[in-house]
Amino acid sequence: MNIINPKAKIGENVKIDPFSIIHDNVVIGENSWIGSNVTIFPGAKIGKNCKIYPGSIIASDPQDLKYNNELTKVIIGDNTIIREYVTINKGTESTNQTIIGENCFIMTYSHIAHDCVVGDNCIIANAVNLAGHVKIENNVVMGGLCAVKQFSTIGKYSMVSGGSLVRKDIPPFIKVAKEPLKYIGINIVGLKRNNFNNEKINNIKNCYRIFSNKGYNTSKAVSILEKKENQNNEEKEIINFIKKSNSGIIKF
């Protein structure tokens, strides 16, 4: 009832439910489960202990007019859960791969486009759509129905409110909401859940106060922080993220 190409590499104790199609040049790690009616195209490398629920499509061709059947990949880390009807496109020749990290939870109807990179321990809720080349750093939570513009970056430990339109980069450690998308505070709950101590949380809070409470624009706030003696690690991370941004930063 399944169609499994003999060239696919299937690990030990992998269970594949009826009516799924596994193409050649596919690797599925041990103890993973593939639900019914799943299609996994060539170029997929799926880690150990993963769960892929019915109707999902992994490593389909990128929705990019420049794609010319290059041999590209989708890499999915260990212990990741992919719920029903998720689509994950393989990379283009630009980066050669789309990457999903370890311990991620990607919920129903989400779409992850070509050349995206999703870090470890991320939660992507129902019907989130990531355009091409989006980068989501570790420990990010995306609310349902978010849409993210191509080449955007979402910083680690951030939380994005459901239904958000992400047009610019989101720095680490914060919560964002409203339209247009803006800073609404630091992600205290997420930071505490990830064992940030009070000193680190206060460092982050004090840093973002300069952006949000003093009336400075982003460039001025960065300049003030760079002149500060004895910058703490959290300030350095925030400054580096903002300075590397190519898409601009959301409003404070």
Q: What is the pLDDT of residue 139?
A: 98
What CATH number has the domain bearing residue 215?
1.20.1180
Residues 120, 217 within the same domain: no
| Residue 60 resides in a domain | yes
Closest C-alpha to 146, from 169, 164, 131, 130: 164
Residues 123, 16 within the same domain: yes
| Residue 152 resides in a domain | no
Residues 110, 218 within the same domain: no
| Residue 142 resides in a domain | no
Residues 198, 123 within the same domain: no
Residues 127, 199 within the same domain: no
Residue that is last in its domain, among 86, 105, 133: 133
What's the number of domains the chain is made of?
2
Residues 197, 129 within the same domain: no
Residue 233: give the domain boundaries. 192-244
What CATH number has the domain bearing residue 9?
2.160.10.10
Q: What is the pLDDT of residue 216?
A: 87
| Residue 110 resides in a domain | yes
pLDDT per position in the chain (252 positions), as tens? 899 999 999 999 999 999 999 999 999 999 999 999 999 999 999 999 999 999 999 999 999 999 999 999 999 999 999 999 999 999 999 999 999 999 999 999 999 999 999 999 999 999 999 999 999 999 999 999 999 999 999 999 999 999 999 999 999 999 999 999 999 999 999 999 999 999 999 999 999 999 987 778 999 999 999 998 899 999 999 999 999 999 999 999
| Residue 151 resides in a domain | no
Residues 97, 29 within the same domain: yes
Question: Which residues are catalytically annotated?
Answer: 114-115, 132
pTM more than 0.75: yes
| Residue 20 resides in a domain | yes
Residues 103, 216 within the same domain: no
Residue that is last in its domain, among 82, 110, 133: 133
Residues 7, 127 within the same domain: yes
Q: What is the pLDDT of residue 215?
A: 75
Residues 128, 11 within the same domain: yes
Residue that is last in its domain, among 133, 158, 180: 133
| Residue 170 resides in a domain | no
Residues 15, 128 within the same domain: yes
Residues 203, 104 within the same domain: no
| Residue 171 resides in a domain | no
Q: What is the pLDDT of residue 191?
A: 98
